[in-house]
Structure 1
């Protein structure tokens, strides 16, 4: 208790300097946490993917569709439990700024593959019955203030024209990793409209979603699928859902590396600032530390004083920065909209924030503490004059 009181008095002896140092720590720890959360948000789709789902797409590119008749052949392969498909719709809601993922799916086979979408039975059945109905995630519905029964107009980009849909249901995620920012519509309705408008088009899908029973057989089933369609006009590439999501993340890998580097640089900068603060503190108290040693206090006590003061300041700044990260992350999540479907400060990020603050405190005081522990009493007392 005596040591804690002494540390508190020493830490706030120069209130302005300590306050500015704490402020710098708060900013650094907040920035570190937010940048790490942004990186986590990029990988959220990977973490939320299922090990029992495979994605089958064109071997050339995702922009090349696959024939609808592949579905029946896929169902006949060993290890395949269920098959569904989806197309990217790419419509615009009012303005291009309101971007969110939209998929035309086969509801009867698609929804059973995604049990993490928790939908009331009445809303699920209403969606299945209405070919012009859509399902949306809770986050998307809250963003635009949609409720069941609302009309949602989308201006087509890939599929020309204005499409008006009726909101039939809203799903909630089974956990925080479930994406709630998507809109699902009936593939059959889109396909039928395309066939009527454009002769010779239609009956193609963007990707197939294949359900398997045993994740350990994912590689074998994937090879079996690709072999089935080898040397055809539309060869396939099959990968796990996590690998499929990672293919999108890898496009921004350089940006993610830069963000991670910046988060570390911020911590290093505040470490240098705090090290300068602790060095100034030690120099000003040179005579005091010499007096303590003259009175019989061991060098270890002086070292503990400096390290303890530095860790105390770092802990205050770290905890304050951690607490401030939550409202800032909420504000960022609101401003980002559907850019980051899942944006939450993880327990690992919070732990790293505290660890970073403590490392800053330890490293900043290491050199001055070592110097003060070895101070010569005579030279230290002479410093009074």
Structure 2
């Protein structure tokens, strides 16, 4: 009890130094938590991918199309419940900075394969009946202030020109992780326009979405689909939705690794700063430690005092960092909604933040503790006066 009281009294004997150390640890912990969350969000698309959906694309690259005639043959593969198709459209709204995911799809089968897109019945029916109709995610609609019935014009890049759509519905995600920044419209609208303007680009799709009865059938179905089109002019590569997402994530994996390294470096730097602070504190109190030894305190008692103070300061900084994580994450989720579908810090990340703070306290306290606990009384008393 005495040691605990002594630690609490010593925490802010040098207030400015202690406050700066606590703030430094808090900032480091906050940065670590936000960077770790950013990395986990980068992989969230793959983690939340359905295990009963497969993606079939051109075996050479996704940029090469596939004939629409493949659809019925894919639907006939044993184990396939339904299949749909789509094209990456690659357009933007008004200015190039207003870029978001937009796809030309077959509406009825596509929405059947993606039940996580929740759409009111009336809006869904209106969308299905309107060839120039489109639906968008709730976050995307909120970003640009769109309402049902609005006329929206997108500027094409892959398919040049101004494309007009009527907003027929706004969907919301079944779960928080569901992407709500997607623009979907009828593939037939795109295809009919291509038939008139560029016939060689008509009747082609970018990918097929294949639904299977259960995850266990996925490997066999993928093999059967790819075997069916082997040695054709457009061979296919069929993979799980998770593998499909990971193929994109892998392109930026080096960036994610760099971000992770930076998060660890932040902790390492503040660890050095905290160690220097504790070393200064121990050096200033050498005479005090020698006096305590003359009063009968053992090396273990002094070790507890010094080590406890280091851990206490770091944990205070860690708790402050954890507390700041929530408003910081909320601000990112609100202000940067265009880039992050959600930004929720997991309990696991919060635990790691506290462990990082604890590790700072432990490591930074080792040398000062050893020095204070092993000081000779005569050497320590020389510092007095």
Common fold: TM-score over 0.5: yes
Q: Identify the residue that residue 58 of structure 2 maps to in structure 1.
A: 58
Q: Identify the residue that residue 266 of structure 2 maps to in structure 1.
A: 266
Q: Identify the residue that residue 176 of structure 2 maps to in structure 1.
A: 176
Q: Identify the residue that residue 359 of structure 1 maps to in structure 2.
A: 359
Per-residue CA deviation, residues 236-263 of structure 1 (Å, 9 max, x unaligned), is 0011111111111111111111111111
Aligned partners of 1:111 and 1:218: how far apart in 2? 20
> How is 1:1-385 mapped onto 2 (pairs within 5 angstroms)?
2-385=2-385
CA contact (8 A) 1:58 1:234 kept: yes
Aligned partners of 1:376 and 1:126: how far apart in 2? 86
Shift of 1:5: 3.5
Q: Secondary structure at the match of 1:131?
A: coil
Aligned partners of 1:123 and 1:323: how far apart in 2? 42
Shift of 1:361: 0.8
Per-residue CA deviation, residues 81-112 of structure 1 (Å, 9 max, x unaligned), is 11011101111101111111001111110111
CA contact (8 A) 2:177 2:341 kept: no
Shift of 1:130: 1.6
Q: Which moved more, 1:258-267 or 1:309-318?
A: 309-318
Aligned partners of 2:267 and 2:50: how far apart in 1? 35
Q: Which runs of 5+ in 1 are unaligned?
A: none
Q: Secondary structure at the match of 2:27?
A: helix
Shift of 1:166: 1.5
CA contact (8 A) 1:57 1:236 kept: yes
Shift of 1:6: 2.4
Shift of 1:383: 2.3
Shift of 1:382: 2.7
Aligned partners of 1:3 and 1:99: how far apart in 2? 60
- Tell me the number of residue pairs that the alignment of Structure 1 and Structure 2 aligns: 385
What's the Cα RMSD here? 1.6
Aligned partners of 1:112 and 1:193: how far apart in 2? 26
Aligned partners of 1:222 and 1:300: how far apart in 2? 65
Shift of 1:330: 3.4
CA contact (8 A) 2:53 2:212 kept: yes
Shift of 1:47: 1.4
Aligned partners of 1:189 and 1:277: how far apart in 2? 67
Q: Secondary structure at the match of 1:338?
A: coil
Q: Which moved more, 1:313-322 or 1:260-269?
A: 313-322
CA contact (8 A) 1:47 1:177 kept: no
In the superposition, relative to structure 1, how do residues 296 and 39 fare at CA in structure 2: closer, same or farther (>3 Å)? same
Q: Which runs of 5+ in 2 are unaligned?
A: none
